[in-house]
Amino acid sequence: MNGLGRLLGHTFDSLRIRNYRLYFVGQVVSVSGSWMQRVAQAWLVYHLSGSGLALGVVTGLQFLPVLVAGAWGGVLADRFDKRRLLLLTQTAMGLLALALGLLTISGLVQLWMVYLLALALGVVTASDNPARQAFVMELVGRSHVMNAVSLNSAVFTLARIVGPAVAGLLINAVGTGWCFLVNALSFGGVLVALAAMRRQELLPWEPSDRSRGGVLEGLRYAWSSLDLRVPLLLMAVVGTLALNFSVILPLMASQTFHGDAGTYGLLFSTLGVGSLLGALITAGRREPSRRLLLLSLLAFGLFMLAAAVAPSLWLELAMLVPLGVAAVIFQATSNSTLQVNTDPALRGRVMALYSVVFMGTTPIGAPIVGLVSQAAGPRAGLALGGAAVLLTVAAFGLWSARRARRGEGQLPAEDEDRAGIAGPVLRG
């Protein structure tokens, strides 16, 4: 109990910092709206096309700019004031949501319009996400970064519970268009929070010297460090083939369990319950650990395969909870590992690479998973992701064992102690 008490005692440390507290509350409002839009957009595309491939295409288009230009977004985050950059990007996202909402409610919306607005949202996201990721360190500092990253994940996953559930109700009651309008209004939360921050309480920040290079310098730096290279490579596989729930779950709701938008919202919200639990567990840890990274990834793959074969809706929901736990712990641990091991002058570029492998790989993976799900059923889409994750864990395990035999892969004793490996590390 003492260990559990210490773990819980650190869970909300970052909320003692006023600027982060404002940011946290703003994100609760804004991200809930974003999840409403994500669910409504997928349902709208499925309604307009009836195609799993179309779901994969719209998801791919939304993240294609992150793949193509996300690294340059990191350069912007390193060279410009992140708070001001976020004010611009969040405003643009709100306007795009407003446009989609008005088109949908008016009955003028067509599939190509959804594609175009999804692509435009991706262009803004390519600059927004690296700035948001790197801004965390300026808000809380190194000693609280894992806690803040985990609480951000908690916001994201709490929104995954609330947003899809509300979206399902709104879609059934008044249609998809109102979800987009609510999302447009929700961006006001984060804009107010950013405007209300005390700039003097942000950690000192100096623009990156142009002599430090641009995208290539960030790539060289990330590849040169094992602590950066490993999380990025693992996340590349996960982001490409495993994190495609917006493609698979609408098909699961409709084709596998013969449900409606409410069933779809229930599936997404249940996944969010697990994700919230995982985020709160991770928030109680002081430092990320390599072992935690791999254990959570292993659990993620196993529960993804279990979800692929669950014979009933209730068993599917039961599998989605630990699947969400494992997924968020892996994501939060990867993110924190990168944050604490990166030179501040290059943090924007490194976190941009994280965005590229986390979201930017979606244009590659989403159409693949959509085609597999359409041809062989959504269970096959889940199985593909689970198998890819487990093969990645096995490959990394073999590589680590070879390094250990050569005396290259041992984690120093002080790092083992700092990581708290003997403590509670259950990650689904």
First to last CA, the chain: 20
Whole-prediction pTM: 0.72
Amino acid, res. 213: G
Q: Whole-angstrom Cα distance, residue 389 to residue 303?
A: 11
- Structure token pair of residue 311: 């014979």
Tell me the helix, strand and coil percentages in the chain, rounded to 5: 85, 0, 15
Amino acid, res. 299: A
Q: What are the pLDDT tens digits along the chain (428 aa)?
A: 444 445 445 677 888 899 999 999 898 888 888 888 988 998 899 889 887 778 878 877 887 888 888 788 888 888 888 899 999 999 999 999 999 999 999 999 999 999 999 999 999 998 898 888 888 888 888 778 878 888 887 777 677 677 777 888 888 888 899 999 999 999 998 999 999 998 888 876 666 555 555 778 888 888 888 888 889 999 999 988 998 887 888 888 888 998 887 888 788 888 878 888 888 888 777 677 788 899 999 999 999 999 999 999 999 999 999 999 999 899 888 888 888 888 877 888 888 888 888 876 777 888 888 889 888 999 999 999 999 999 999 998 888 788 777 765 444 433 433 333 222 222 22
Domain 10-198+215-419 has CATH 1.20.1250.20: yes
Q: Whole-angstrom Cα distance, residue 154 to residue 110?
A: 34
Phi-psi region of 251 (alpha: psi -120 to 50; beta: other; left: phi over 0): alpha
User: Could you tell me which of 105, 3, 118 has the C-alpha nearest to residue 56?
Assistant: 118
DSSP 176: T
Q: Whole-angstrom Cα distance, residue 184 to residue 121?
A: 12
Q: Whole-angstrom Cα distance, residue 171 to residue 9?
A: 40
The residue ranges of every structural domain in the chain are: 10-198+215-419
Q: Whole-angstrom Cα distance, residue 292 to residue 301?
A: 14
Burial call 264-288: b when 16+ CB within 10 Å, e when fewer: bbbbbbbbbbbbbbbbbbbbbbbbb
- Structure token pair of residue 101: 């909402």
- Structure token pair of residue 197: 């921050």
